[in-house]
Structure 1
Amino acid sequence: MELALIKLGGSLITDKDRPYTAKPEIIQQLAGEVSAIALQNPHLKLIIGNGAGSFGHQSAKKYNTINGISTDVDKFGFCLVHQDAIDLNRLIAKAFLQAGLPVISLPPVTMGVTENKKPIKFNYSIIENTLAAGLIPLVFGDVVLDKIIGGTILSTDTVLAELAKHFHIKENLRVQLINVGNYPGVYDQYGQVISEITSANYPHIKNFLGESKSVDVTGGMLRKVKEFLAIADLGIDCWIIDGAVPGNLTNAVLGKSALGTLIKA
């Protein structure tokens, strides 16, 4: 059995420089591509995750939620970030349902717990049961409760990475992870797309990996590549591709030629 985890980047599905502004045309395009993927490979299991984009990152930065909650203001901000994340996820869910895809939203705050920002507990059975029922889990970056600092933010990249590791190791599935952004891939120092990143060439290119130019509290490209390298070493191929190119997501998931960067062991 195969499983594809697809992350719809916040910079692709929203205008990250305009607070609370989604890109409905792109979202509909991506929903159509995922629908085509499901038709072409009906045995492929899918998990979709969406980034927070110009929604959740706004309140998260204002209230510094990623660094914990203790005061009443912190707690109020924590709830605002969650609501912002839900608002964007609702738009994604609606588009995917309109495309005929049986998606169901699963907030990480109901499944995961961290300790000083590090995931220590995740209720995988909710995702397992959703997949077994023939549904598509729709997860997203969200606030979670933390045993040390009260609460923090779990990025979509981290959620999908944890799920990828679980299903590859515990369920023995063939897993691939595709990050769909508004960029052709990972750039080198000359502005050219790096076709492949491994643990061998990473030390030579890590200094060229930048942070997000827009409001992004969860780390940008550098953190993304580091997280993907960690799971690539388990034998899970990870792609960072341009989702603005029609058909590129379909090609990546179905093993055809795709425009982007492959991160592998």
Structure 2
Amino acid sequence: MKSNKKIILLKLGGSLLTDKNKPFSIRKEVVKSAVDQIIEANEKLIIIHGGGSFGHPLAKKYSVSKGLDKSIPNQIYGIAETHQSMNKFNTYLINQFLEKKYPVLSIQTSSIFIKDSDIISTNSLDVIETALDLGIMPILYGDIILDKQGSFSIISGDQIILELCRNLTKYYVSKVVFAMESDGLYIVDEENKNNCNLVTECYSNELDNLNLADLGQKIDVTGGIKGKLNFIKSICKSKIPVQLINGLIEGYIHKSLKNQILNCTNILINE
């Protein structure tokens, strides 16, 4: 039976909150704005944030996403360093909410998810749902993930969202919001290949036909926009609409959480 407890999943992109070209950098004004908007909206939600300049450079340095490779110097130390760097970033974000007396709880992703070859599983999401019941907003983040086969990898914020959509039981996800640096998905202009157009609305069954424009990307060990699109397709299979918004535009996060009209990409579900 479908729960009547509605929730929104909000992904704060790592490249939105940090400068991926400058290791361990935080865009403090962007973070402050996002936190203020989330508090003002005061909706029931789970926040998931990406690794940005705290996770991606180290994950790339130690080839964490490729799994155990004894030929890589200090790789085991590297997964610990990558994990701790993400904890540091997460702690900064947590503190921004606590300084404003807003109740949030950091949920360590690598402690609730595990891999077995290509399958990601969790014993329970009770801690997340209980926090929500208590009026506490859970915050998860891209992290390392251990593998029962004696290895490890990266679990991205997008992957976390997909697993939450699949495994939450007491709450149903009304929509997923991706707050990014751009206005959404762009496709190549068929009449002028040098131009691109924003996709403002499309149905989930149309995603495979989109000719995505290559807008360039910074270091990203989790697949970039095309990798994100694959996760979006999987999210839509759970009958959950997706919205991609520009988190740099003042007020857009708040408006999205309040379901107001935005210039962004809305991915609707085919009934």
Counterpart for residue 55 of structure 1: 54
Residue 198 of structure 2 is aligned to residue 193 of structure 1: yes
Q: What TM-score, normalized to structure 2? A: 0.89
Counterpart for residue 98 of structure 1: 99
Structure-2 change in CA distance of 1:128 and 1:213 (3 Å): same
Q: 1:237 aligns with which of 235, 241, 248?
A: 241
Counterpart for residue 35 of structure 1: 39
Bigger CA radius of gyration: 2
Counterpart for residue 41 of structure 1: none
Q: Deviation at 1:264? A: 2.5
Q: Which amino acid aligns with 2:99?
A: Q
Structure-2 change in CA distance of 1:149 and 1:216 (3 Å): farther
Gaps of 5+ in 1: 39-43
Greater fraction of residues in helix: 1
Decide whether the 8 Å contact of 2:50 with 2:157 is kept in 1.
yes
Q: Deviations over 1:175-229 (max 9, x none)?
A: 2111101111111113211012334322221x42548621110011111122112
Gaps of 5+ in 2: 190-195
Decide whether the 8 Å contact of 1:13 with 1:24 is kept in 2.
yes
Decide whether the 8 Å contact of 1:3 with 1:173 is kept in 2.
yes
Q: Deviations over 1:223-252 (max 9, x none)?
A: 112211212132211111001111111111
Decide whether the 8 Å contact of 2:184 with 2:244 is kept in 1.
yes
Q: State the identity %.
A: 27
- Determine helix, strand or coil for the equivalent of 2:122: strand
Structure-2 change in CA distance of 1:173 and 1:120 (3 Å): closer
Residue 156 of structure 2 is aligned to residue 151 of structure 1: no
Counterpart for residue 192 of structure 2: none
Give 1:1-265 correspondences, 5 Å limit: 1-38=5-42, 44-69=43-68, 71=70, 73-167=74-168, 170-171=169-170, 173-190=172-189, 191-205=196-210, 207-208=211-212, 210=214, 213-265=217-269
Q: Deviation at 1:99? A: 3.0
Q: What TM-score, normalized to structure 1? A: 0.91
| Large movers: runs of 4+ above 4 Å | 209-212
- Number of corresponding residues: 257
Decide whether the 8 Å contact of 2:37 with 2:254 is kept in 1.
yes
Q: Which amino acid aligns with 1:216?
A: D
CA RMSD of aligned residues (A): 1.8
Q: Which amino acid aligns with 1:196?
A: E
- Determine helix, strand or coil for the equivalent of 1:200: helix
Structure-2 change in CA distance of 1:151 and 1:234 (3 Å): same
Q: Which amino acid aligns with 1:30?
A: A
Decide whether the 8 Å contact of 2:165 with 2:173 is kept in 1.
no
Structure-2 change in CA distance of 1:69 and 1:219 (3 Å): same
What is the rounded CA distance, in whole Å, between the counterparts of 2:181 and 2:126 in structure 1?
32
Q: Which amino acid aligns with 1:59?
A: L
Moved more, 133-142 or 96-105: 96-105
